Amino acid sequence: MAGKKDTKKKKVLFVGDTHAEFAFMNYALKELKPDVAIVVGDFGYWRKSDFEESGTEPGYFFDSLVNDQTKVYFCDGNHENHKLLRELVAEHGSDKPIRIRKRLYYMPRGSTLKLNGKRYLFVGGALSIDKEFREPGKTWFPEELLTEPEVKAIMKTVDLDKIDVMVTHTVPSVGIDDVCKACQLQRDWLLGTVSEDNLQLLFERLPRVRDWYFGHWHQTAEFTVPRSRVNFHMLNMTPYEGCLRGKGYSKKRLARVEKEYMERLEAEAAAAEAEAEAVPEEALGSETPEAAEVPAEKPEAAGGL
């Protein structure tokens, strides 16, 4: 007989695109204490050094490990260092979580995870609409797109009949009209749907899937499509309204965490403004101060889907 199983349901938190700004996720993890957090791509895996366990940059990823209970899994979005991610896959394979650091795992395209008796399939990738403003090999990688050979390989290696939940960065093309509606976009404005069309090949081969989580579009929506029992959950980017979903949490609770965080940010901004106004004019000197040097932006902070 097998050993006694832990039957307690795990609390699972889904988090929208973080874009390497982890302060909100840290806050949400501390407030909600999930067992597992799943980021739906555009996590912001740009540099290995940002995730080293000895990291000391305030507010950076290591802070989220304070609760010491949440395991974080992310699929790749378009805004990641795909060269580094490919190196990880070459070393460890693409079928299971790849450990980045304590309690942080990359989920390659075609990797699966079992949670609460349900089997999750992760398939990242999407198009950067701002790629012309990015530097190939540094802040943009052609590997961002989900290709047909990748999907065919997933079909060969993964038993799709057993998948219950999908986690992707973008949506299969069957959902594009709903996404465009939520984002107030016209379909012919899109610069291409290669990844969406290839996800569609999977969508048509997943009889058990009822929940499909994705991000990328920086808006939130819940929708279904005709002749399908899949519930699509589109997550906004963090820290904005609709960037969290969860198993084991009420919608109200999640919305409260999102709102409280934004209120906290607003209060901090107001306090900083009040402090700046309180400085007597003479203390500023007579000459116009030179503009502070703008620090180099992290590539992911440049915006764009």
CB under 8 Å to 5, separation ≥6 — which residues? none
Cα Rg of the chain (Å, integer): 21
Q: Closest CB to Fe ion among 64 and 170? A: 170
- Residue 285's SS3 state is coil
Q: At what angle do helices 251-278 and 23-32 cross, to 10 degrees?
A: 130
State yes or no: residue 19 binds Fe ion (CB under 5 A): no
Q: Closest CB to Fe ion among 63 and 300? A: 300
Q: Within positions 98 to 137, which residues make up the interface with Fe ion, using CB under 5 A?
A: none
Q: Closest CB to Fe ion among 111 and 128? A: 128
Stretch that binds Fe ion, among 80-88, 101-109, 181-189, 211-219 (CB under 5 A): 211-219
Distance in Å, CB of 290 to Fe ion, minimum: 36
Distance in Å, CB of 42 to Fe ion, minimum: 4
Order of strands across the sheet with 231-234? 111-115, 118-123, 165-168, 211-214, 231-234, 221-223
Q: Closest CB to Fe ion among 62 and 214? A: 214
CA neighbours within 13 Å on the CB side: how many for 285?
4
Number of Cβ atoms within 10 Å of the Cβ of 305 = 22
Distance in Å, CB of 167 to Fe ion, minimum: 14
CB under 8 Å to 100, separation ≥6 — which residues? 45, 51, 88, 106
Distance in Å, CB of 128 to Fe ion, minimum: 7
Distance in Å, CB of 171 to Fe ion, minimum: 11
Candidates 42, 63, 258, 300; binder of Fe ion (CB under 5 A) is 42
Stretch that binds Fe ion, among 117-125, 220-228, 272-280, 297-305 (CB under 5 A): 297-305
Candidates 19, 216, 233, 245; binder of Fe ion (CB under 5 A) is 216
How many Å apart are CA 288 and CA 281, to the nearest integer?
Answer: 11
Inter-residue contact 13 to 251 (CB < 8 Å): no
State yes or no: residue 195 binds Fe ion (CB under 5 A): no
Q: Closest CB to Fe ion among 77 and 242? A: 77
Q: Closest CB to Fe ion among 32 and 37? A: 37
How many Å apart are CA 127 and CA 42, to the nearest integer?
Answer: 11
How many Å apart are CA 83 and CA 219, to the nearest integer?
Answer: 28
Q: Closest CB to Fe ion among 94 and 219? A: 219
How many Å apart are CA 28 and CA 278, to the nearest integer?
Answer: 33
Q: Closest CB to Fe ion among 130 and 164? A: 130
Inter-residue contact 110 to 158 (CB < 8 Å): yes
Q: Within positions 55 to 84, which residues make up the interface with Fe ion, using CB under 5 A?
A: 77-78
Judged by the rule CB under 5 A, the positions of this chain that interact with Fe ion are 42, 77-78, 216, 305
